[in-house]
Copies of this chain bind each other. A is one copy, B any other.
Amino acid sequence: MIRVGILGATGYAGVELVRLLSAHKEVTLTMLVSQSYKGMKISEVYPSLRGVCDIVCEELDAEKAAKNCDVVFTALPHGASKEVIPSLYEKGLKVIDLSGDFRYNDKEVYAAWYGQEHSSPELLDVSVYGLPELHREEIKKTTLIGNPGCYTTCSIMGLAPLLANKAIETKNIIIDAKSGVSGAGRSLSIDNHFCECTESLKAYKVATHRHTSEIEQELSLVAGEDITLSFTPHLIPMKRGILATIYANLKKPYTKDELIKMVKDFYKDEYFVRVYDSGLPETNHVAGSNFIDIGLEVDTRLNRVIIISAIDNLIKGAAGQAVQNMNLLFGFDETEGLKNAGLYL
């Protein structure tokens, strides 16, 4: 049994961590930190947890955290993580950070997309990009993980196999991504008022979304050359789920079966990756689970492939992947606590 703390436990990624870890047989939750709800039980904030997890939320105390936890998940707003993590890290805690702060290899890229200097650039050298299907061995050995976000996981994993196989052109890659509203978190905003987003649909941060840089970083590594691409996020009137529709020009006229085989081979033995021989992923195929589903079609008229990938943004796109990383970090079965099927309904 390891002792686990969660910072930002009352946000949507945080409470998903609480839910998953409450059912994890190697874990004891020892500390839930919430600025907004300190002194309240987590199950008062989220009554779905009554009887399952009734821990009282507290303020952050780094000393106490170091004493009571073996690992800490930080599910804080972007920017807040990098203020808090160094103090935890230097006390010897393992940290799995769900923000964007430690996902970058290059502080200049961070500064360019986040509009500020990184305050702990030395930790960027330590931190590992926590996408197990691409960086499993590094993750096992590190102590600081930058856990990828939802858009990036879905986009990178959809494109990686065909780029690794040099089957597609690196110019004219377009990722048109659609996310449920929980991706925006629990903070109040007119954009997530029920009446403003239900029965409506919009694109946002067109050509400027920060996750573009993360996707480009990881896919450039996979491709062995610099990749730039279009990434457009959309807000969809549903709670959970991300679907990425990815367009790329084929280098030569591959058949669908050939491309499917490339994807299958690339993700051979990966429990959480399901590749479709026929049909295409939909978000209710993965909602409530840690799976990523990938399918594709070839447009032979245009010699173009359209890849569809789908995840649950709060699980494979956040809390589930973080638990998967924790499993690797501590040598547990990688799928422990994450094997269940999604709800479909």
Contacts and interface: CB of A to CB of B under 8 A. Distances in A.
Nearest to A296: B206
Contacts of A193: 186, 188, 192-194
A195 B207 contact: no
Contacts of A288: 48, 288, 343
A228 B47 contact: no
B340 A343 contact: no
Interface string A164-197: 0000000010101010111000101110111111
Contact of A345 (B12, B276, B310): B12
Contacts of A240: 199, 345
Given A172-B172, A230-B302, A201 B283 contact: yes
Nearest to A12: B345
A187 B114 CA distance: 30
B304 A46 contact: no
A239 interface: yes
Interface in A44-86: 46-53
Contacts of A206: 280, 297, 299, 306, 308
Contacts of A297: 206-207
A291 interface: yes
A341 B240 CA distance: 17
A321 interface: no
A263 interface: no
A274 interface: yes
Contacts of A283: 199-202
12 contacts: A48-B284, A48-B285, A176-B245, A188-B188, A195-B345, A198-B198, A203-B308, A204-B280, A206-B299, A228-B301, A230-B306, A236-B237
Given A19-B340, A198-B198, A201-B241, 7 more contacts: A12-B345, A22-B341, A48-B342, A48-B344, A50-B293, A206-B306, A207-B301
Interface of A: 12, 15-16, 19, 22-23, 46-53, 172, 174, 176, 178, 180-182, 186, 188-190, 192-204, 206-207, 228-230, 232, 234, 236-241, 243, 245, 247, 249, 271, 274, 276, 279-289, 291, 293, 297-302, 304, 306, 308, 310, 314, 339-345
